[in-house]
Structure 1
Amino acid sequence: MANNTEENTQLASRYIDLLENILEPFVDRSIRMAELVEILAIINSTLEPNKLLWLIMKSAKSVMKSEASSLMILDKDTGDLIISIPTGPVSAELSGLRIPPGKGISGWVAKHEIPVAVPDVSADPRFYGDVDKASGFKTRSIICVPMKNPNGEIIGVLQAINKLDGTPFTNEDISLFSAFADQAAIALENARLHAEELEKQRLEQELTLARQIQQKFWPDEPPAIEGISVSGISIPAREVGGDYYDFIPIGQNQLGITVGDISGKGVPAALLMATLRAMLRTQIENHHSVSDTVSLVNNAIFRDIPDEKYLTLFYCVLDIKARHITYVNAGHTPGFLYNMHNKEEKYLEIGGTLVGFFEDFPFQEGRESLDSGCVFLLYSDGATDALNPEDEGFGAERLYSLVRENCHLNAKDLISLIYQKIVEFSNGTQQFDDITMIAVKID
């Protein structure tokens, strides 16, 4: 009886050992999958890019139970793989190291988009030994898997090096590591989109603030002058524009009127516009002539303006009592002067070249009388260059016709009508240039 009991005990022990051997891979896989789920939950809760990269690398090493791990980001311009935040004994030496296109096992994986496990790198001709030479690290085995964004585009590779227990990486490791890499790639894409959204919000806030500041440079209200109506508008093509207009009282009987157009759009153009405004107002306060004022501004801008920028300017002084204007047109669109009584029209072009092109340029002055019934229009080329859906420009003649046909209106109503006609003509076509206009109407 005792012998039977002993035999049964031995048989049960062997059965348990056999069962453990059979179940061990499944138990181990279940444990690893549970660890993976836990790790991915942490990764997917992180949106800060650098922290996320560090977590991915730390987790890759843990998931694969390896000595080291590295994430290599694909440089789309060069095709290089750039080692980003590696982990392991020589991580500092490897960070930022570039691997040329197709080089090494990682380059092969990036090119073919196929995961591999190499049990002995010394026997694999694809192995790129320069990384070990640079770091002093000894690579024995590698597992490397591609990383793709949700669109299926390769963004890099993830690799683990040297299992801690010395065994080679297996096909099961490839499956597990590939699943990890897929989720890590999604987390990276989410972090990238989040960072882009934050940057977009920051830029929008900056542009809103810049536009608010820029609008403070524009006149709040046109000056009230007996017998003369004056009005102006500026509609930026973007949040912040490069057009400029201003009304500047000069003593009791004169009014400085100016329209400027800086090449380009956005904050750089707006900053240059603010510089122009400050310079022009400073010179006007010094009581220079119209041509001298423009010349002094030209020389100042010549020293400061970037080479790729240009600036046009129409500056005139309205003599309120004498009813005439003295002007300089520095490369700007011509001022349009129309007399509703005798139908005479003139194009004010006297002046010179663009502001800031040549130092000490000899700008010339023009002078025109403003008789009763005269309408004087200044505008930027955004008004005439506005396009309709057929890609046809609004054009100067259409603009002048509106002045002729509506010269009975005061300055404010005339400008409002012209802008309305430009909007109707554009018919929803996106505005690509700032639109600025000033009108002066003599009763």
Structure 2
Amino acid sequence: MKLFKEGDARRASRRKRVFDVLQVVGDAIQGGQPESTLHRLITQGAASVVEAEGAVLYLLDEKAGVLVPRHCTRDCPPLIALPERIVNQAKTNAGTLPSFLRLHSIKPGEGVVGSVFSNLKEENIPDLRHHPKFEGKANPFQQHVAALMAPLKHGVRGLGVLAAASERTKPFSPHELEMFDALAEQCGFALGNAQAHQEAGAKRKLESELRNASEIQRILLPEKAPETAGWEMAARNVPARLVSGDYYDFVPVGSTHLGVAIADVCGKGIPAALITAMCRSVLRSNARETLSPATVLAAVNRNLFPDIREDMFITVSYAVLAEDGSSLTLGRAGHTPPLVWRQESGKVDVISAPGVAVGVDKGSVFERITKDVPIPMESGDVLLLYTDGVNEAVDHKELEFGEERIKTIFALAAPNGAQAVVDALCDAVRKFIGGEPQSDDITLVVVRKK
């Protein structure tokens, strides 16, 4: 009867220690303690619950696909296979073993720890050396290691492995395994919730930053298209994400001309938006008194080339219009060829102007190829500049919207003016993709000669 009462008291003490550890861990999460503190409290608590010499926590790095040791208490016996060179060095250098254990990651399914993670099942291991998954050789650091290991889970998602161990010949009891597994289950739930909370917070912060960037970008776009004595204009930008890699702009050039720019950065999101803002700024600063589009584009290229990553580039079309309608000159830096609808014939012409994308060449090749191209425009003729988000829009069958559809819709809408062309093309693309997500930014600029 006395032995029974002592055993009962030990079990009650273990249960209390489990609750105490969970209280400490819960308080740490509630108090916003750093992850390193949380990991330390879990491992120290795990060792105390079963009165083990030490404990170790492995968590899955989902990007790398490996289990990474996040915290190991000082006296925890090693639970992974030790290379012979580490064993030999550790005999004379006390820091070798802890350093190796802190840095050595494990693949799921590798060794005993990896097996517990893959199977998502707890184990009571009387002697580590005799476990069928242990791959190490006999050494003085793992002579009689008894261990408890349990997977950390959040729902059906494996998070890692919690282990407690001692150098001893007596195995852990079934009740110790039961309490240890209960602790691991609750710690897994707590860690999973903490990760979800952290990810949600990071997502909210990113969304806030993207909204701010989107608002800044919206402010940088013209509020409305200008109207001059000789031209009627309209434009629209429809980003695929909160921020866009496309932009358009109307730039005063001297007192008698107007610059019209459209650009598409190779890429999406914030990096593309930053390059877009740089392109806009540099183009504006070089366009003020320059009537040659090719000269302006050459200056943009020379300024931006040193700052653009090798995997990025910008396609730009830039036209300079005499405000009275007497001339229109185009420069094209690798951008989608513009289209012109001719009122007299009702046909759509493709404007093939030579040019290289900004950021591909530092200057000499760009300037040799990119040339000014005058475009004769009669009253009623309409110029269409657009980014490849229009022609490359895809439907549920992965079919592209294509240039021919653009020409057809352009020709039908052009007699009704610049805004009618923008509206018609945007509506047609939206109907074409149906419920499919927009895959790329869409930008249109339309110029009609009065």
The TM-score range, normalised by the shorter chain, is: 0.7 to 0.9
1:315 counterpart residue number: 318
1:35 counterpart residue number: 17
Q: Aligned to 2:53, what secondary structure does the other structure show?
A: strand
8 Å CA contact 2:316–2:333 kept in 1: the answer is: yes
Question: 1:222-256 deviations in whole A, cap 9, x for unaligned?
Answer: 11313521111111101111111100011222110
The whole-number CA distance in structure 1 between the counterparts of 2:111 and 2:402 is 61
Q: Aligned to 1:248, what secondary structure does the other structure show?
A: strand
Match of 2:46 among 51, 60, 72: 60
Match of 2:238 among 235, 251, 260: 235
Cα displacement (A) at 1:322: 4.8
The whole-number CA distance in structure 2 between the counterparts of 1:364 and 1:35 is 79
The whole-number CA distance in structure 2 between the counterparts of 1:68 and 1:333 is 65
User: Given the superposition, is the C-alpha separation of residues 348 and 78 from structure 1 closer, same or farther in structure 2, using an over 3 Å criterion?
Assistant: closer
272-281 vs 96-105, which deviates more?
96-105
2:86 counterpart residue number: none
The whole-number CA distance in structure 2 between the counterparts of 1:206 and 1:411 is 34
1:71 counterpart residue number: 57
The whole-number CA distance in structure 1 between the counterparts of 2:232 and 2:138 is 78
149-158 vs 389-398, which deviates more?
149-158
8 Å CA contact 2:122–2:149 kept in 1: the answer is: yes
8 Å CA contact 2:394–2:400 kept in 1: the answer is: yes
- 2:409 paired with 1:402: yes
- 2:195 paired with 1:188: no
Cα displacement (A) at 1:59: 1.3
2:37 counterpart residue number: 51
1:12 counterpart residue number: none
User: Given the superposition, is the C-alpha separation of residues 284 and 151 from structure 1 closer, same or farther in structure 2, using an over 3 Å criterion?
Assistant: same
Question: 1:111-133 deviations in whole A, cap 9, x for unaligned?
Answer: 65554444555777948589986
Matched residue type, 1:191: A
The whole-number CA distance in structure 1 between the counterparts of 2:421 and 2:154 is 54
Structure 2 spans left out of the alignment, 5+ residues: 78-94
What pairs with 1:374-393 in structure 2 (closer than 5 Å)? 374-393=381-400
The whole-number CA distance in structure 2 between the counterparts of 1:99 and 1:142 is 21
89-98 vs 423-432, which deviates more?
89-98
Cα displacement (A) at 1:354: 1.6
- 2:433 paired with 1:429: no
Structure 1 spans left out of the alignment, 5+ residues: 1-17
Cα displacement (A) at 1:39: 2.7
Match of 1:26 among 1, 5, 8: 8
- 2:368 paired with 1:368: no
8 Å CA contact 1:330–1:355 kept in 2: the answer is: yes
Matched residue type, 1:37: F
- 2:104 paired with 1:98: yes
8 Å CA contact 2:256–2:323 kept in 1: the answer is: yes
213-222 vs 165-174, which deviates more?
165-174
Question: 1:290-330 deviations in whole A, cap 9, x for unaligned?
Answer: 22111222222332221111211111101122522111122
TM-score normalized with structure 2 length:
0.84
8 Å CA contact 2:316–2:358 kept in 1: the answer is: yes
1:329 counterpart residue number: 332
1:15 counterpart residue number: none
- 2:288 paired with 1:285: yes
8 Å CA contact 2:258–2:322 kept in 1: the answer is: yes
User: Given the superposition, is the C-alpha separation of residues 266 and 145 from structure 1 closer, same or farther in structure 2, using an over 3 Å criterion?
Assistant: same
User: Given the superposition, is the C-alpha separation of residues 239 and 113 from structure 1 closer, same or farther in structure 2, using an over 3 Å criterion?
Assistant: closer
Match of 2:148 among 144, 150, 156: 144
User: Given the superposition, is the C-alpha separation of residues 294 and 124 from structure 1 closer, same or farther in structure 2, using an over 3 Å criterion?
Assistant: closer
- 2:161 paired with 1:157: yes
Matched residue type, 1:149: K
391-400 vs 40-49, which deviates more?
40-49
Q: Aligned to 2:416, what secondary structure does the other structure show?
A: coil
Matched residue type, 2:389: G
Q: Aligned to 2:244, what secondary structure does the other structure show?
A: coil
8 Å CA contact 2:282–2:300 kept in 1: the answer is: yes
The whole-number CA distance in structure 1 between the counterparts of 2:395 and 2:111 is 55
The whole-number CA distance in structure 2 between the counterparts of 1:220 and 1:77 is 43
User: Given the superposition, is the C-alpha separation of residues 174 and 58 from structure 1 closer, same or farther in structure 2, using an over 3 Å criterion?
Assistant: same
Matched residue type, 1:84: R
Q: Aligned to 1:257, what secondary structure does the other structure show?
A: strand
User: Given the superposition, is the C-alpha separation of residues 347 and 104 from structure 1 closer, same or farther in structure 2, using an over 3 Å criterion?
Assistant: closer
User: Given the superposition, is the C-alpha separation of residues 118 and 309 from structure 1 closer, same or farther in structure 2, using an over 3 Å criterion?
Assistant: same
User: Given the superposition, is the C-alpha separation of residues 431 and 373 from structure 1 closer, same or farther in structure 2, using an over 3 Å criterion?
Assistant: same
TM-score normalized with structure 1 length:
0.85
The whole-number CA distance in structure 1 between the counterparts of 2:123 and 2:345 is 88
Cα displacement (A) at 1:100: 4.7
Q: Aligned to 1:407, what secondary structure does the other structure show?
A: helix
242-251 vs 60-69, which deviates more?
60-69
8 Å CA contact 1:105–1:144 kept in 2: the answer is: no
Q: Aligned to 1:161, what secondary structure does the other structure show?
A: strand
User: Given the superposition, is the C-alpha separation of residues 174 and 329 from structure 1 closer, same or farther in structure 2, using an over 3 Å criterion?
Assistant: same
The whole-number CA distance in structure 2 between the counterparts of 1:124 and 1:347 is 74
The whole-number CA distance in structure 2 between the counterparts of 1:387 and 1:103 is 44
138-147 vs 87-96, which deviates more?
87-96
Cα displacement (A) at 1:221: 1.9
Matched residue type, 2:102: G
User: Given the superposition, is the C-alpha separation of residues 75 and 130 from structure 1 closer, same or farther in structure 2, using an over 3 Å criterion?
Assistant: farther
User: Given the superposition, is the C-alpha separation of residues 272 and 132 from structure 1 closer, same or farther in structure 2, using an over 3 Å criterion?
Assistant: farther
The whole-number CA distance in structure 1 between the counterparts of 2:139 and 2:277 is 53
